[in-house]
């Protein structure tokens, strides 16, 4: 049960997580996103006053725009009498009610556009108005596919979730703070010690971030699938018997593995080991009742398209990682309006996954309670027989990879961040080809420009994660079903950056 300082989180089949907040007297279900820093809402918002500033939002098809407006906001028991947000009222907006950005204020396009702390993001305003409230955010993301998961999730402000107080005893992982010149790209990023693969061995990887000795990872609740270096993803899935690296065009590549294959991996951060639930290592997708389900790797190889000079992180740890931790983010001196706070921001992670219980969950969910995980067909292949995706390293991106989260340093006049999320599956007679699955939206920010947020509305139906109906792409031969799927373009049409193919890949 949630109380003051907390808000329940709804889990839509482990693909999106939303919570309810009140804007202008209207209850709105908003996506929770630690990877961005702005609040926006669609539809009519009562008791709202527009400012003289406007923002345009571009997504897969069409556009959405509106004034940066001011309205009273209630969130997690707190009230802000005059919160700025983007009131999306024009164009063809995505089929979501809103989004709350929970990232550092430096990345807020509203704050940058208006130019003073009165336009800070929601959490910064709460901390500024309630000086006795501890400056931290915490959240748990539920797992709908796990039978032992007690609830769908919870998010708190200044409060620790009851029963999980041990999070405050965990290591305080310093947030990687960017130089002032790059502060608009600031994220909740921390150093990662190592990935441990399904063979129980550490997967070697050398960071590409200048002046860092360890890999840098961004914690982003807006990504369904973690985006990790190709060699780490290959080490997780490339030794599975029957694994296939599929590069179906035009959507992009994905690892496909047998659904009965249990893979146990872990991530070590701050000297603590965080086991990943095997139901989070591969995701089961239902096409239709007449076709066997398929499973794809959740930890996807990422080709991050920026130059060495602009490289500021190695990977993005999204929902499939975050479901395994209770996450506490202390803002420290990342509170814009409180210059007296000088403490460094930090992140604490409490492990939630018990490997023994996770194994039982896998047997129950994937194997119909018959444990076949020790059968010879599920033994890993020798390391010498490991398959490679050929995706390369983040410092040497492969422009043909359409499945990309791109962190772009555009010019000194502005910065842009993109999230590419896509789920699409194509079935053929001779071979089942997956064209895949990643998150739920595309967001892009450009400082001081009109193209401030990009959001993708996938509008799909017919395929999806197990227990979920997600649309099939239209105009695919032999499918016998329609949909409103449209290719994602990044950047938005009309942007100065070049595009390759139908989906738009930006290279720098």
Q: Is residue 265 part of a domain?
A: yes
The verdict on residue 189 lying in a domain is yes
Residues of the domain holding 272: 170-390
Does 55 fall in a domain?
A: yes
Count the alpha carbons within 13 Å of 23 in the hemisphere toward its beta carbon: 28
Last residue of a domain, one of 115, 141, 162: 162
Q: Where are the alpha helices (DSSP H) in 191-339?
A: 230-237, 278-281, 319-322
Q: Are residues 218 and 137 in the same domain?
A: no
Domain boundary among the residues 390, 415, 430 is at: 390
Residues 274 and 209 in one domain: yes
What strands lie across the sheet with 265-269, from one edge to the other? 202-203, 194-196, 265-269, 272-276
Number of domains in the chain: 2
Q: For residues 210 and 274, state if they share a domain.
A: yes
Flag whether 408 is in a domain: no
Any domain includes 501: no
Do 134 and 179 share a domain, yes or no?
Answer: no
Residue ending a domain, among 126, 145, 162, is 162
DSSP 103: S
Domain match, 174 and 135 both: no
Question: Distance (Å, rounded) from C-alpha 95 to C-alpha 91?
Answer: 12
CA distance 267 to 197: 9
Domain annotation covers residue 3: yes
Pair (189, 304) in one structural domain: yes
Residues 386, 334 within the same domain? yes
Residue 224's CATH number:
2.40.70.10
pLDDT at 180: 85
Q: What is the pLDDT along the chain (508 residues), one digit of tens a residue?
A: 455 689 999 888 888 899 999 999 999 999 898 988 889 998 889 999 999 998 765 433 344 467 999 999 999 999 999 999 998 876 665 567 988 999 999 988 889 889 999 999 999 999 999 999 999 999 999 998 777 766 789 999 999 999 999 999 999 999 999 988 888 889 999 999 999 999 999 999 999 998 899 999 999 998 888 999 999 999 999 999 999 998 864 335 789 999 999 999 999 999 999 999 999 999 998 777 888 888 999 999 985 543 333 588 999 999 999 999 999 999 998 987 656 667 899 999 999 999 999 999 999 999 999 999 999 999 999 999 999 998 865 433 333 232 222 222 222 222 222 333 333 322 332 233 333 343 333 333 333 333 332 222 222 223 333 433 333 333 333 222 222 222 222 222 222 222 222 222 222 2
In a domain, 84, yes or no: yes
pLDDT given for residue 238 in this prediction = 97
Q: How far apart are CA 449 and CA 364, in angstroms?
A: 51
Shared domain for 127 and 265, answered yes or no, is no
Across 227-238, b (16+ Cβ under 10 Å) vs e yields bbbbbbbbbbbb
Q: Which residue has the tokens 């129980």?
A: 200
- Is residue 213 located within the same domain as residue 292? yes
Q: What is the rounded CA–CA span in Å between residue 118 and residue 111? A: 8
Pair (22, 144) in one structural domain = yes
Is residue 153 domain-shared with residue 188, that is, in the same domain?
no
Residue 26 burial (CB count, 10 A): 17
In this structure, are 225 and 142 located in the same domain? no
Question: Is residue 480 domain-resident?
Answer: no
């Amino acid at each position: 049960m949630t109380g003051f300082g907390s808000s329940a989180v709804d889990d839509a089949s482990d693909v999106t997580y939303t919570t309810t907040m009140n804007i202008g007297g209207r209850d709105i279900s908003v996506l929770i996103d630690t990877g961005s820093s702005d609040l926006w809402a669609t539809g009519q918002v009562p008791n709202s006053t527009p400012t003289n500033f406007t923002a345009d939002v571009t997504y897969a098809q069409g556009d959405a725009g509106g004034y940066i407006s001011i309205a009273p906001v209630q969130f997690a028991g707190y009230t802000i009498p005059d919160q700025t947000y983007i009131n999306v009222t024009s164009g063809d907006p995505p089929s979501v009610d809103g989004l709350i950005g929970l990232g550092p204020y430096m990345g807020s396009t509203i704050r940058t556009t208006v130019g003073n702390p009165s336009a800070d993001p929601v959490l910064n305003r709460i901390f500024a108005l309630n000086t006795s409230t501890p400056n931290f955010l915490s959240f748990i993301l539920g797992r709908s596919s796990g039978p032992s998961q007690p609830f769908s999730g919870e998010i708190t402000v200044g409060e620790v979730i009851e029963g999980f107080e041990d999070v405050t005893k965990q290591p305080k992982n310093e947030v990687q703070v960017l130089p002032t010149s790059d502060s608009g790209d600031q994220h909740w990023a921390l150093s990662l010690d190592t990935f441990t693969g399904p063979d129980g061995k550490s997967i070697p990887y050398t960071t590409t971030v200048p002046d860092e000795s360890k890999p840098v990872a961004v914690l982003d609740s807006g990504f369904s699938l973690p985006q990790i270096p190709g060699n780490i993803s290959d080490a997780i899935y490339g030794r599975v018997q029957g694994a296939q690296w599929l590069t179906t065009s035009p959507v992009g590549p994905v690892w496909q593995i047998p659904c009965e294959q249990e893979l146990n991996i872990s991530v070590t951060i701050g000297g603590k080991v965080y086991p990943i639930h095997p139901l989070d290592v591969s995701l089961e997708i239902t096409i239709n009742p007449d076709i066997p389900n398929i499973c794809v790797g959740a930890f996807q190889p990422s080709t991050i398209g920026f130059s060495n000079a602009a490289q500021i992180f190695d990977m993005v740890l999204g929902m499939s990682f975050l479901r395994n931790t209770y996450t506490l983010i202390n803002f420290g001196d990342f509170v814009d309006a409180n210059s007296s706070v000088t403490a460094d921001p930090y992140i604490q992670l409490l492990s939630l996954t018990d490997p023994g219980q996770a194994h039982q969950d896998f047997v129950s969910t994937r194997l119909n309670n018959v444990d076949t995980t020790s059968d010879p067909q599920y033994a890993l292949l020798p390391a010498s027989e490991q398959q490679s995706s050929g995706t390369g390293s983040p410092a040497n991106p492969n422009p043909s990879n359409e499945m990309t989260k791109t962190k772009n340093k555009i010019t000194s006049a502005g910065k842009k961040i993109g999230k590419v999320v896509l789920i699409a599956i194509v079935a053929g007679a001779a071979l089942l080809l997956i064209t895949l699955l990643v998150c739920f939206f595309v967001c892009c920010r450009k400082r001081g420009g009109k193209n401030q947020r990009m959001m993708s509305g996938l509008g799909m139906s017919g395929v999806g994660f197990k227990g979920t109906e997600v649309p099939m792409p239209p105009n695919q031969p032999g499918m016998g079903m329609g949909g409103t799927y449209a290719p994602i373009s990044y950047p938005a049409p009309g942007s100065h950056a070049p595009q390759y193919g139908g989906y738009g890949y930006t290279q720098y």
